[in-house]
């Protein structure tokens, strides 16, 4: 599903449809938000807060806030432990279709 949003937003000439592009960005952001710990997953890959923010259409401050709240839940105190903590979590059930 995420790939469909990325393909649609990457089409040549898409800038001629600003309202539709805005709606697609909004729907894409909502979809990513529903996927749960997406910010933490991207941080675990080594992306910086501004890079994560750009990819998820959030502000870097929002990304920082998400990570600040996730660290205690995972029992970690730094980004270095994030990847290991996420790998130790049980697998998530498949997402339900919206």
pLDDT tens across the length of the chain (98 residues): 667 777 888 889 888 989 988 888 888 777 766 655 788 889 999 999 999 988 887 889 988 988 998 899 888 998 888 888 888 877 665 555 44
- Asked if residue 97 belongs to a domain, the reply is no
Q: Specify the pLDDT at position 25.
A: 81
How many domains does the chain contain in total? Answer: 2
How much is the pTM? 0.60
Rg over CA atoms, the chain? 15
The separation between CA 80 and the C-alpha centre of its own chain, rounded to angstroms, equals 19
| Count of Cβ atoms closer than 10 Å to residue 42 Cβ | 19
Whether residue 23 sits in one domain with residue 44 = no
Whether residue 48 sits in one domain with residue 80 = yes
Q: Which domain holds residue 29?
A: 1-35
Q: Which of 59, 58, 27, 63 is nearest to 44 (CA)?
A: 63
C-alpha to C-alpha distance for 2 and 50, rounded to whole angstroms: 20
């Amino acid at each position: 599903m995420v790939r469909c949003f990325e393909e649609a937003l990457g089409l040549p000439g898409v800038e001629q449809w600003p309202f539709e592009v805005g709606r697609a960005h909004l729907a894409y952001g909502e979809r990513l938000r529903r996927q749960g710990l997406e910010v933490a997953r991207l941080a675990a890959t080594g992306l910086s807060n501004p890079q994560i923010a750009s990819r998820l259409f959030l502000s870097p401050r929002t990304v920082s806030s998400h990570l600040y709240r996730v660290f205690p839940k995972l029992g970690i105190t730094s980004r270095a432990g994030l990847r290991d903590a996420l790998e130790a979590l049980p697998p998530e059930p498949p997402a339900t279709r919206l």
